[in-house]
Chain A
């Protein structure tokens, strides 16, 4: 009896995209796109070259950053950012609860559902800065416009996630509460709220974190906060003050992230 010798076969890794046509098509499409994109992007290399020393200057400005000469402005800007963050997170979440409930397919009637989904879509489509431009136009310069901007942006974020969470809930629990003869508000409060609460607390803290980061930006268009101070520092080429502001922002964001991670573990 002779041993059958199998023809030598080599194993090769299975590709991520199974259909060969799609794989090659995507590759080709990417290549054509990149060629077009690079071909139409005009970069003024002379200007870039001239800017490099300025970039180096900016990097050296971090050693050491200048906290002192603009200290008063920095403190004021940061304080404004913090107020805006706190107030807008609270107001934004309070407003997003009814919108989120209305945008959940399983508990809202169709007209309410489409209306609330519309609000969420508008709020999510526009970047905070675009909203800020209009709020500054309407309500005047200062933190009030920033507060409205961040609140409105919070509605889109928080309302959408709340709606999705309600849609994913366990209907049996809600049904059980309804079977006791509970009214609509009691039904929401005892049948649905306990199911979504742990996740929503975590997301609320996450949104607080995002709102602080965004509050640093809306100031660039005049809506209060540290952004205005930062913008001025860049415009005057005071890189050492700008470096100080950036370090403070990074520090606060890290602190908030750590804090919210800790609180989330504690809540859940």
Chain B
């Protein structure tokens, strides 16, 4: 199996979730997987709207990149329980960068959507490891999401 693929990511996240959340996750799988998938896409739209309302300073480039990100994410959420992604959002005050971030056992992954149309991927590991990549709006969003979710 190709390791840098969404299928691999799906399987890996599923396994991690199973290990981490044990019985709770099993119950969700048994009882409401389909409902969760439907809800996830609906929640993404709500999430986007709430971000736009919360951060009216975002410009067109940021909004366009965010929308592209969410379109790709919605495809992934067909197979992954969105509750387990635990993505938070924030605004980097000085830069007016939109910041999406998530914490795992390995560290904190971040995506910055800046006003110039760049998307910066940052990972700060709990062991001190630091990764960084700056991409423009032509980035492969699915691969970017993979990177964002995989560490």
A joins B in a complex? no
